[in-house]
Chains A and B, each alone.
Chain A
Amino acid sequence: MTEITVAPLADVTMPRPRGSVRGRLQDALPKLVLAPSFAAILLFVYGFILWTFYLSFTNSKAFANDHLVGLSNYQKLWTWTFETDPPSGWYTAIINMGLFGGLYVVCCLALGLTLAILLDQKIRGEGFLRPIYLYPLALSFIVTGTAWKLFLDPGIGLEKAVHDLGWTSFSFDWVVNPRMMIYCVAIAGIWASSGFVMALFLAGLRGIDGEILKAAQIDGASGFMMYRRIIIPIMRPVFFSALIILTHLAIKSYDLVLSVTGKNPGGAAELPSTFMYSYTFTRNQMAVGSASAIIMLMAIAAIMVPYLYSELREKSQ
Chain B
Amino acid sequence: MKFRTMLMAGVALASAAGFAASAHAADDKTVQMLHWWTSGGEAAALNVLKGDLAKEGFAWKDVPVAGGGGEGAMTALKAMVAAGNPPTASQILGYFAVDYAEAGKLGDITSLATKENWAKVVPTALQKFTTTNGKWDAVPVNIHSVNWVWINKAVLEKIGGTEPKTFDEFIALLDKAKAAGVIPLALGGQPWQEATMFDSVVASTGGIEFYKKAFVDLDESALKSDTMKKSFDNLAKLKAYTDPNFAGRDWNLATAMVIKGDALVQVMGDWAKGEFKAANKEAGKDFLCYRFPGTDGSVIYNTDMFAMFNVPADRKAAQLALADATMSISFQSAFNVVKGSVPARMDVPDTAFDICGKKGIADVKAANADGKFVGSMAQNYAQPPAVAGAYHDVVTKFFHGEIKTSDSAVTELVKAINAAK
Asked if the two chains touch in their complex, CB atoms less than 8 Å apart, one says: yes
Chain A minimum-CB-distance residue to B188: A262
* Residue from B103, B243, B393, B408 within 8 A of A267 (CB atoms): B393
A153 contacts partner chain B, Cβ-Cβ < 8 Å: yes
- Cβ of A82 within 8 Å of any chain B Cβ, yes or no, is no
Interface pair B248/A283, CB less than 8 Å apart: no
A156 to chain B, nearest CB (A): 9
The B149-200 residues at the A interface (CB cut-off 8 A) are 188-192, 194
- At the interface, yes or no: B99 with Cβ under 8 Å from chain A? yes
Tell me the bound Cα distance from A252 to B412 in angstroms: 30
Residues of the B chain whose Cβ atoms lie less than 8 Å from the Cβ of A153 = 245
Task: Find out whether the CB atom of A265 lies under 8 angstroms from the CB atom of B103.
Answer: no
Please give the distance in Å from B191's CB to the nearest CB on chain A: 6
What are the residues of chain A within 8 A of B68 when measuring CB–CB?
258, 263
Instruction: Indicate whether A175 reaches chain B with its CB closer than 8 angstroms.
Output: yes
B129 CB to nearest chain A CB (Å): 14
Do A61 and B400 have beta carbons less than 8 Å apart? no
Flag if A281 contacts B74 (CB, 8 Å).
yes
CA distance A57 to B386 in the complex (A): 18
- B261 near A: Cβ within 8 Å? no
Q: Distance (Å) between the CB of A132 and the closest chain B CB?
A: 28
B217 in the interface (beta carbon within 8 A): no
Interface residue tally on B, bucketed by range: 35 or more
Q: How many residues of A contact B (CB 8 A)?
A: 38
Please determine whether A262 and B243 come into contact, CB atoms closer than 8 angstroms: no
A265 near B247 with CB under 8 A, answer yes
Quote the shortest CB–CB distance from B421 to chain A (angstroms): 10
Q: Which of A265, A267, A279, A283 has the most chain B CB atoms inside 10 A of its CB? A: A265
Residues of A within 8 A of B358 (CB): none
- Docked Cα-Cα span, A43 to B192, in Å, equals 37
CA distance A155 to B256 in the complex (A): 14
Give the distance in Å from the alpha carbon of A268 to the alpha carbon of B189 in the complex: 12
Q: Is B399 an interface residue (CB 8 A)?
A: yes
* Residues of the B chain whose Cβ atoms lie less than 8 Å from the Cβ of A283: 385-386, 388-389, 420
Asked if A52 is at the interface of the complex by the 8 Å CB criterion, the answer is no
Residue of A nearest to B404 (CB): A86
Which A residue's beta carbon lies closest to that of B99?
A62
Which 8 A-B residue pairs are closest in the complex by CB-CB distance? A262-B248, A266-B400, A62-B99, A283-B389, A176-B247, A263-B190, A86-B403, A178-B400
* Contact sample, A vs B, 29 pairs, CB 8 Å cutoff: A61-B99, A62-B96, A62-B100, A62-B103, A86-B403, A89-B393, A153-B245, A176-B244, A176-B246, A176-B249, A177-B247, A178-B247, A181-B248, A262-B247, A262-B250, A263-B248, A265-B191, A265-B248, A265-B400, A266-B189, A266-B191, A268-B400, A279-B389, A282-B71, A282-B74, A282-B389, A283-B386, A283-B388, A283-B389
